[in-house]
Structure 1
Amino acid sequence: MMLRRTFLAAAAAVPAALRPEALRAQPGVDAPQPRLPTEPLVIVTRDGRRHGFTVEMAVDPSQQMIGLMFRPSVKPDEGMLFDWGAPRESSMWMRNTIASLDMVFIAADGRIHRIAERTVPQSLATVASNGPVRATLELAAGVTERLDIRAGDRVLHRIFGTAP
């Protein structure tokens, strides 16, 4: 009988945030954030081919923290651009990201610095830019290979002072 009372007293002390009714999906926490405002972006490859994308703009820390988490897929002509505001080292991970992505790290002048292809969904491994970048672009896995996009190619977007 004493054990039962102790259990009931402990159950009553559980904080409200941990009760089952509070554990439902919360947008931006354990569900996809609403789509962010979009802008056009163009990647020009070394042979002059232009590839257009519509990218969601992740500009504030809360948007950047969530990114494309919990989204089941990314369309081949869409993505998300993380604008860091100024050049810095960029380190990303795939926690709670269920779609594989290509991560394109872009220098302040709009040149692609590095590409991490086909990142592993749900991985906690860090994917680093390996140098200062102004932005990171996330695309559907395989897009950079299919379009033959490489380091050194140019990204046209307003944050780099170029219009698409």
Structure 2
Amino acid sequence: MGNGHITTRRGALALGLAALLAAPVAAQRVPIPCAPERVTIRGDFGAAVFTVDVVADPASRAQGLMHVEQMSLSRGMLFIYERPERLSFWMRNTLIPLDMLFLDSDGVIRHIHENAIPLDETPISGGPDPLLGVLEINGGLAARLGISVGDRLEHGAFGPARDTWECTPA
């Protein structure tokens, strides 16, 4: 009699374990530190890779590239917002000319503002559509490389990977 009870318990335990293992697992969000990383822009010109500083919180976005005196050609700053919105920038306290590549939630470049003028406080808009981010690179570099509207930036904060991307302070 005791053996039957143990077998039943073992069987129930095995069935319960099998059901647990077969249950769908919730998608895990793996935080990515807000630290320099690589982005790739792909288009008809080919591909360009940049090492970027990711700024994804209000304080770091407000600072941006202010007071930076020079930036190597392979560097940039990637501004990422929590949700798509109308974006506008200015060059207050920014000492170097910049190209601003305005990005939708899929990472597609929707607008390029070339050679933003250092220290100019005139608003620079990405247009009327809600956008998710902006990549700032050295002024004139987008044209030199052949980057154009419609090209795509690859980064975990854009496209299908966006749902699992999360930025946490390093």
Letter in 2 for 1:142: G
3-state SS of the aligned residue for 1:41?
strand
1:40 equivalent in structure 2: 38
1:57 equivalent in structure 2: 54
CA distance in 1, matches of 2:93, 2:120: 8
Q: How many equivalent residue pairs?
A: 127
CA RMSD of aligned residues (A): 1.4
- Counterpart of 2:156 (choices 128, 151, 158) is 158
Q: CA deviation at 1:46?
A: 2.4
Letter in 2 for 1:39: E
Q: TM-score, normalised by structure 2?
A: 0.72
- Counterpart of 1:108 (choices 105, 110, 121) is 105
Q: 1:162 to 1:50 in 2, by over 3 A?
A: farther
1:135 equivalent in structure 2: 133
Instruction: Name whichever structure is richer in helix by fraction.
Output: 2
- Work out which of the two has the higher radius of gyration on C-alpha atoms and give 1 or 2: 2
Letter in 2 for 1:52: V
1:81 equivalent in structure 2: 78
CA distance in 2, matches of 1:153, 1:145: 13
- The reply to whether residue 118 of structure 1 matches residue 145 of structure 2 is no
For residues 71-97 of structure 1, the C-alpha deviation after alignment (integer angstroms, 9 at most, x for no partner) is 001211110000012111110000000
3-state SS of the aligned residue for 2:87?
strand
Q: CA deviation at 1:109?
A: 1.1
**Higher RCO (CA-CA < 8 Å; seq separation 6+):** 2
CA contact (8 A) 1:156 1:162 kept: no
CA contact (8 A) 2:106 2:160 kept: no
Query: Identity over aligned residues, as a percent?
Result: 35
Letter in 1 for 2:119: Q
- The reply to whether residue 70 of structure 1 matches residue 67 of structure 2 is yes
Q: CA deviation at 1:162?
A: 6.6
